[in-house]
Amino acid sequence: MNVQFSITEQGVGIVKIDGGLNASNVDDFREPCFLWLAEHEAINLFVLDLGAVDFIDSAGLGVLVELLKRVSERGGDVRLANLQKQARIVFEITRAYKIFAIFDSVEMAIQAES
């Protein structure tokens, strides 16, 4: 799994994940992501680009919920973009779509009002 971090001109943190997000590689995402989160305390809005994530299991969902919780605690928000069909089904059946704001593209996620 490959994770890329970037910050837009508007000061939005973009996290792009490439590959499946499951129990076998969830730590490869959690550690760098939370480290990066701690290093950028000023950023309150994070957009997760899941366009290249073909599958998410409950461990993957768990880390996304954990990320949302940490960001919410400091008054921020986590938005998901480009959710693929396979991953979307997991979000649907587990009701995870009710706690995340999900957008069709990264641009829409950035521009949406809070």
* Contacting residues toward another protein, per CB under 8 A: 55, 57-58, 85-86, 89-90, 92-95
Choice between 47 and 83, CB closer to another protein: 83
CA distance 46 to 103: 13
Q: What tokens does 4 get?
A: 């890329």
Minimum CB separation from another protein for residue 87, in Å? 9
CA–CA separation, 8 vs 25, rounded Å?
Answer: 27
Identify which of residues 28 and 57 has a Cβ nearer to another protein in the complex: 57
- Residue 13 Cβ vs another protein, minimum distance, rounded to whole Å: 29
Residue nearer to another protein on the CB measure, 19 or 76:
19
Which distant-in-sequence residues (6+ apart) come within 8 Å of 9 by Cβ?
none
The count of other CB atoms within 10 Å of the CB of residue 82 is 20
> Nearest approach, Cβ of 22 to another protein (angstroms)?
9
